[in-house]
Amino acid sequence: MPGALSTILVLLLAVAVGLYQFYLSPLLVTNGFWRDIEPVGNTDCSSVPELKACEKLVLHQATGVVYLACSTPEARPKWIPGIGAFEENAHNDYVATYDPSTGKVTRLNFENFDSERGFASHGMDVVPSATNSDEIFVYLVNHRSPLDGKDPRIVGADSVIEIFKTKVGSSSLAHVTTVEDPVISTPNDLIGYPDGKSFYFTNDHGSFKTGALRTLRNYFTSIGSVGYCHVEHGCSLVVPKIHAANGIAKAQNNTIYVAATAGAAVSVFERQEDNSLVLTDVIPAEVPLDNLSVDANGALWVAGFPKLSAMFELMKNITIPSPTRAVKITVNTGPGAFYGEKYKVEKAFEDDGTIASGSTTVAYDAMRNRLFIHGLAAPALVHLCDQGYDNGRNHFQPLTYSH
Ligand SMILES: *[C@@H]1O[C@H](CO)[C@@H](O)[C@H](O)[C@H]1NC(C)=O
Ligand SMILES: *[C@@H]1O[C@H](CO)[C@@H](O)[C@H](O)[C@H]1NC(C)=O
Ligand SMILES: CC(=O)N[C@H]1CO[C@H](CO)[C@@H](O)[C@@H]1O
């Protein structure tokens, strides 16, 4: 029998080594256990501490004004359905605008919005109306508390998508409609269309609203999803299984990008006539990725977490710095393009967390050379940085991998 036992032990060891090599080791590398932080483009930044804990920011290209979906450092850690924090039932999050040319912060008032169940911010999109360029649609994820005093730790958040309307320069947001659907289960981010009626969104944990196991599942299996809704025609899942779906963004054409946190990659989809999405590419990006945006030149900007563990610390205590990276992805037009390097992936910004901490969202104003960085538990909006962006000096540091 000792022979059989040692054979079993050897087999178990082999399985453990295999698991480590194939799963755990790449996971630890991706999540930054051994990563050194190398500052890039992080000098001379301006910060706006009045705006805290803003999960998502969206640039209004025509005016250069930035819209932010924010919370407070006190409230945020108590209610983050995406990581299973369900402590607080009253939500008082808000949307603000920041005008970098005047430095003015405006907190927008909700109008015609039954906010009895509150507003708990997460993903957002801001889209000029197709029919009136003065009018702007604001699409927001709202992680409401469950009805009838049900325990959110058991049933999860009652998440919906809210559509609001505003005008350029206005200080109010008029509620248009609330979109509720079983398909909108764990919404994270969304892209809205200029009709004010349709959007794509990611579910970061698919239909798993609660439970510790879902986090583990999300690392190894594809439980995330992408859905599409039209207020008149309802909602459906268009990508039923995708690995750790997080931020979503669209280009001027029908290309749609979805970022994966755990997979550290961006999936590229083409929107079809019937609103389905066809996967055309996957761009690896080395670090866990978060929210995405596309600038006016078609470059894709992504917030990354060079140290994922620090991010979890920050969510508990806003004073703990969490390193930040902004990645810029463009179509490679250089010589590498001939050798199958279709995309150029560059590090545009990296900081150890002292200047920009825990960033979950970046946007670049390509017309005015302005970079904006914020995060769900970050202490301030950080922008501009390195006059370089203004002078067109190139700080970008190419990353060593390509695709
Ligand atoms: C759509 O636009 C993006 C960004 O400008 C570009 O990279 C992509 O190649 C375009 N896709 C098609 C199918 O033209
Ligand atoms: C947050 O961390 C700081 C140190 O970075 C510590 O002084 C403070 O007590 C912590 N706050 C809480 C609420 O744990
Ligand atoms: C829209 C949005 O903000 N999405 C993600 C941004 O980053 C945080 C931090 O990981 C995610 O939890 C959000 O889901």
pTM for the structure as a whole: 0.83
Mean pLDDT by 10 residues, the chain (403 residues): 60 53 48 63 82 90 93 80 75 91 93 83 93 95 87 85 96 96 93 97 80 58 85 94 82 89 77 95 72 88 75 72 86 71 83 82 87 85 62 45 35
Domain for residue 10, yes or no?
no
Atom of ligand 1 nearest to the CA of 280: 13
**92-136 pLDDT per residue, tens:** 889 999 999 899 999 999 999 976 778 988 899 999 999 998 999
74 lines ligand 2 (CB under 6 A): no
Of 253, 328, 331, the residue with max ligand 1 atoms within 8 A of its CB, to mutate for a pocket test, comes to 253
Atom of ligand 3 nearest to the CA of 56: 3
- Quick count: other Cβ atoms within 10 Å of Cβ 288? 26
Write out the DSSP string of 30-91: HTTTTPPP--BS-SSEEEETTS-SEEEEEEETTTTEEEEEE--TTTGGGEEGGGTEE-----
- Please report which ligand is nearest the Cα atom of 281: 1
pLDDT given for residue 291 in this prediction? 72
Residue nearest to atom 7 of ligand 2 (CA): 319
- Please report which ligand is nearest the Cα atom of 379: 2
158 lines ligand 3 (CB under 6 A): no
pLDDT given for residue 400 in this prediction? 38
Of 87, 317, 320, 354, the residue with max ligand 2 atoms within 8 A of its CB, to mutate for a pocket test, comes to 317
Structure tokens at 362: 């970046």
Of 246, 302, 324, 325, the residue with max ligand 3 atoms within 8 A of its CB, to mutate for a pocket test, comes to 246
- CB 276 within 8 Å of CB 262: no
123 lines ligand 3 (CB under 6 A): yes
Domain for residue 179, yes or no?
yes
313 lines ligand 2 (CB under 6 A): no
Domain for residue 6, yes or no?
no
Residue nearest to atom 8 of ligand 1 (CA): 255
- Please report which ligand is nearest the Cα atom of 280: 1
pLDDT given for residue 376 in this prediction? 79
Residue showing tokens 């590229």: 268
Domain for residue 403, yes or no?
no
CATH number at residue 153: 2.120.10.30
7 lines ligand 2 (CB under 6 A): no
Residue nearest to atom 12 of ligand 3 (CA): 82
Domain for residue 9, yes or no?
no
- CB 222 within 8 Å of CB 216: no
320 lines ligand 2 (CB under 6 A): yes
| Structural domains of the chain, count | 1
- CB 153 within 8 Å of CB 210: yes
CA distance 345 to 178: 38
324 lines ligand 3 (CB under 6 A): no
Domain for residue 365, yes or no?
yes
Domain for residue 289, yes or no?
yes
**185-211 pLDDT per residue, tens:** 999 999 999 999 999 999 987 777 776
pLDDT given for residue 354 in this prediction? 82
Q: Please enumerate in sequence order all residues whose Cβ is within 8 A of that of 335, keeping only pairs 6 or more positions apart, or say none.
A: none
**Which structural domain, as residue segments, surrounds residue 351?**
31-398
pLDDT given for residue 227 in this prediction? 96
pLDDT given for residue 391 in this prediction? 39
Residue burial 260-281, b: 16+ Cβ < 10 Å; e: rest: bbbbbbbbbbebeeeeebeeee
Q: Please enumerate in sequence order all residues whose Cβ is within 8 A of that of 159, keeping only pairs 6 or more positions apart, or say none.
A: 81, 141, 142, 143, 144, 184, 185, 186, 187
Domain for residue 211, yes or no?
yes
